[in-house]
């Protein structure tokens, strides 16, 4: 019986029910009136209200001190039309975009107070879509009062991203004067957001360096095993007609570094920064290499033996670097498609991170 009543009214509401039409549709079965702040009386059926809202059900079933045939429920503090739209939703479970545009804030408050979760979810989504710099402070305050965490977080993010503009609004000025605790929460959220951005940027820069080092290790093995355009294994002459490889940008830098390393006269005394960098790349390769006995990269086995002899005193920072490079290589091969892996930034031997990776 209740379902058929709701379906009949829903048909009329979807066709554009006005407050007067709703009155006509419900006055036959109405046994309760909803009183608004403006004194408007909206007729309704108590069974429909009770089925849609446990709070209204409790109010309807509450014993009254003064019995009378005229049952009333007061819904105050919001515009009369918002109450009318709220009652309409209790009957039809629908709310138009135009109604959400006009009364979304009021409907969110009503849905929270009277425990109508479907309407609350609809209002939350509608208000998120309609957030602006001008209304974000007001919506944030309402989201906190109405326990709407998704809406609250969206408001916080908009505030954080547009804080200079929000500071100029009347809503922010009112907040500063009347709710300093919420203002403090907002400022703390903005500070934490900035810290997260800095950590993310730093992590991406580190990952970029580790990926470049991975590529350098691959190119070093390629040069020492097959040879590239101008540098090759010690027992082979590089082919004159050999074309550049797919990672030639990195290979070219390594070939220049190897040539310098082979002829530098300051290398023995440790006074050449470029030679130190080459030593570090050779050592890093040795730390990663799993077949030192057959590896063609110079000094690979020697570095491996030395590391085993000095294992107890091995630098913790160096061990961390090796783990990071291995991890970055594994994650890169698993998570990135082939085309994207080929587009990763090439090794830049003058990169600040490369200059600082003396360990």
Residues 50 and 39: beta-carbon distance below 8 Å: no
**Residue whose pair of structure tokens reads 């294992």 in the numeric block:** 311
Closest among 240, 217, 213 to 228, alpha carbons compared: 240
Looking at residue 23, its pLDDT comes to: 46
Tell me the mean pLDDT in the region 161-190: 93
Q: Alpha helix (H) ranges present in the chain?
A: 2-14, 19-26, 46-52, 54-61, 80-92, 97-113, 117-129, 136-145, 149-161, 163-166, 170-178, 180-225, 248-263, 273-288, 300-309, 316-335, 338-342, 352-355
Give the model's confidence band at 151: pLDDT under 50 very low, under 70 low, under 90 confident, else very high: very high
> How confident is the model over 12-52, as pLDDT tens digits?
333 344 444 444 444 448 889 999 999 999 999 999 999 99
Dist. CA 338–CA 333, nearest whole Å:
8
Quote the pLDDT of residue 3. 38
| Closest to 79 (Cα-Cα) out of 42, 50, 52 | 42
Q: What is the pLDDT of residue 102?
A: 94
The average confidence (pLDDT) of the chain is: 80
Q: Tell me the β-bridge partners of 35.
A: 41, 74
Residue 337 sits at the vertex; the CA angle it makes with 296 and 322, to the nearest 5 degrees, is: 45
Any residues with CB less than 8 A from the CB of 124 and at least 6 apart, and which? 108, 143, 148, 150, 151
Q: pLDDT tens across 127-138, in order?
A: 999 999 999 999
Who wins on pLDDT, 7 or 221? Answer: 221
The dihedral over CA atoms of 332, 333, 337, 339, expressed in degrees to the nearest 10, equals: 90
**Cβ-contact 228, 248 below 8 angstroms:** yes
Residues 260-286 as b/e (b if ≥16 CB within 10 A, e otherwise) read ebeeeeebeeeebeebebbbbbbbbbb
Instruction: Give me the residue label for tokens 């009318």.
Output: 84
Q: What is the pLDDT of residues 85-110, one digit of tens each?
A: 999 999 999 999 999 999 999 999 99
Domains of the chain in sequence order: 1-15+26-130 (3.30.710.10), 211-239+248-308+317-331 (1.20.1020.10)
Sign of the alpha-carbon dihedral angle for 17, 18, 22, 24: negative
| Predicted pLDDT of residue 259 | 85
Show the tokens assigned to 86.
């709220």
Contact 349, 213 (CB under 8 A): no
pLDDT at 294 over 90: no
Reported pTM: 0.60
**Residue 170 in tokens:** 């009347």
50-87, pLDDT tens digit by residue?
Answer: 999 999 999 988 876 555 556 899 999 999 999 999 99
Q: What is the distance in angstroms between the CA of the first residue and the CA of the last residue of the chain?
A: 80
């Amino acid at each position: 019986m209740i379902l058929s009543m709701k379906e009949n009214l829903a048909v009329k509401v979807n066709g554009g029910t006005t407050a007067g039409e709703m009155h006509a549709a419900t006055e036959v079965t109405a046994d309760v009136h909803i009183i608004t702040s403006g004194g408007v009386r909206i007729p309704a059926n108590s069974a429909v209200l009770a089925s849609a809202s446990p709070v209204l059900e409790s109010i309807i079933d509450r014993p009254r001190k003064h019995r009378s045939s005229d049952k009333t429920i007061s819904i105050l503090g919001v515009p009369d039309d918002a109450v009318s739209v709220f009652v309409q939703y209790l009957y039809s479970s629908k709310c138009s975009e135009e109604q959400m545009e006009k009364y979304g804030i009021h409907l969110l408050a009503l849905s929270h107070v009277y425990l109508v979760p479907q309407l609350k979810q609809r209002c939350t989504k509608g208000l998120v879509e309609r957030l602006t710099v001008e209304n974000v402070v007001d919506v944030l305050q309402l989201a906190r009062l109405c326990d709407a965490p998704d809406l609250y977080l969206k408001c916080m993010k908009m505030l954080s991203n547009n804080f200079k503009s929000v500071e100029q609004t009347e809503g922010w000025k009112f907040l500063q004067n009347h709710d300093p605790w919420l203002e403090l929460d907002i400022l703390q959220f903005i500070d934490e957001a900035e810290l997260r951005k800095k950590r993310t940027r730093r992590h991406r820069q580190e990952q970029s360096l580790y990926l470049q080092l991975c590529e350098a290790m691959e190119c070093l093995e390629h040069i020492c095993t097959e040879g590239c355009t101008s540098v090759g294994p010690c027992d082979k002459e590089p082919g004159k007609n050999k074309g550049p490889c797919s990672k030639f940008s990195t290979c070219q830098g390594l070939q220049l570094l190897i040539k310098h390393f082979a002829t530098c006269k300051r290398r023995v005394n440790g006074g050449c920064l470029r030679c130190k960098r080459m030593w570090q790349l050779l050592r890093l390769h040795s730390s990663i290499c799993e077949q030192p006995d057959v590896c063609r990269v110079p000094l690979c086995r020697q570095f491996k033996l030395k590391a085993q002899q000095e294992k107890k005193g091995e630098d913790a920072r160096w061990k961390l670097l090796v783990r990071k490079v291995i991890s970055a290589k594994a994650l890169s091969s698993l998570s990135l498609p082939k085309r994207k892996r080929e587009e990763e930034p090439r090794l830049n031997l003058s990169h600040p991170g490369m200059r600082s990776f003396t360990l």
